[in-house]
Amino acid sequence: MRRRLIVGNWKMHKTATEAAVLVRRLADLVPDSAPVEVVIAPPFTALSAAARALPASAPFLLAAQNLHWEDEGPFTGEVSAPMLKDLGCQYVILGHSERRQLFGEDDEGIKKKIRASLRHGLRPILCVGESLPDRKKGRTETVVSGQLRKGLEGLSKDEIPMITIAYEPVWAIGTGHAASPDHAASVNDTLRSILAQGWGAEAGEQVRILYGGSVTPENAGEFLASARIDGALVGGACLDPQSFATIIAVARKAAR
Ligand code: PGA
């Protein structure tokens, strides 16, 4: 049985000072998340403040939103896996569509980032998703399958269970137009069958496949009711502690 996972992607929001306030409020609202795992991904500059502000008992793990594949070197403006690990990160979001579309990230670079994160014991959350034109042309499965295969190319059977996938259709991100739970579940099935083909059914069964794109407290239950959707990657709604706490509560209820 895969443990449900809720991830809050803060994107470029909150100073370090504001992050400390937000996580304290969240910890008050969510003293316990069992059996659901909860991950928060503040910007790089707020990771340390968020880690320090969290009470020791708080049920949240930290994620970064990106990394560079080298451990160190002349890469102005970049941050590496060992640096994130040292701040207490356990996860890293990679290949988010905003990185792909706005910052020119490609599958080859994302693959190197996944390898770097695994090398340092950071669990990658690989985002895949089709654009609206792709969807209109009926290319959803082709696009997401390609992103998955290329991102995970060369990984061993033992490494695969460390991976989490987030299916995030680009047209659903930040638009208020979430995919239907049926659509998300059917894309998740496709992704899981590719994992099974590539690395065996057992390894494939261990990978969590989330849905992301305009998840709210109101619609989270519809996604989480499906055994084919292992959790949610939440953007906008995670910046409001009450909304994020409600999504976590919905996930806990669905997991019982
Ligand atoms: P959204 O973002 O929930 O604001 O649509 C999701 C994401 O980009 O991960």
User: Pocket of ligand 1, candidates 5, 6, 9: which has the most ligand atoms within 8 Å of its Cβ, to mutate?
Assistant: 9
Integer Cα distance of 132 and 150 in angstroms = 21
pLDDT value for 1: 79
pLDDT in tens, 126-167: 999 999 999 999 999 999 999 999 999 999 999 999 999 999
Which stretches of the chain score pLDDT less than 70?
none
User: Does 215 sit in the ligand 1 pocket, CB within 6 Å?
Assistant: yes
pLDDT value for 69: 98
Q: 25: how many CB neighbours lie within 10 A of its CB?
A: 16
pTM: 0.98
Ligand 1 atom 7, closest CA: 235
Residues marked as catalytic: 96, 168
The residue assigned the tokens 């806990």 is: 252
pLDDT value for 256: 74
Contacts (Cβ under 8 Å, ≥6 apart) of 110: 94, 95, 100, 126, 150, 151
Tell me the pairing of strands 5-9 and 231-234.
parallel
Ligand 1 atom 3, closest CA: 235
Beta bridge partners of 124: 92
Among 180, 174, 158, CA closest to 229: 180
Three-state secondary structure call for residue 100: helix
**Which of ligand 1's atoms lies nearest the C-alpha of 11?**
8
Tell me the pairing of strands 208-212 and 164-167.
parallel
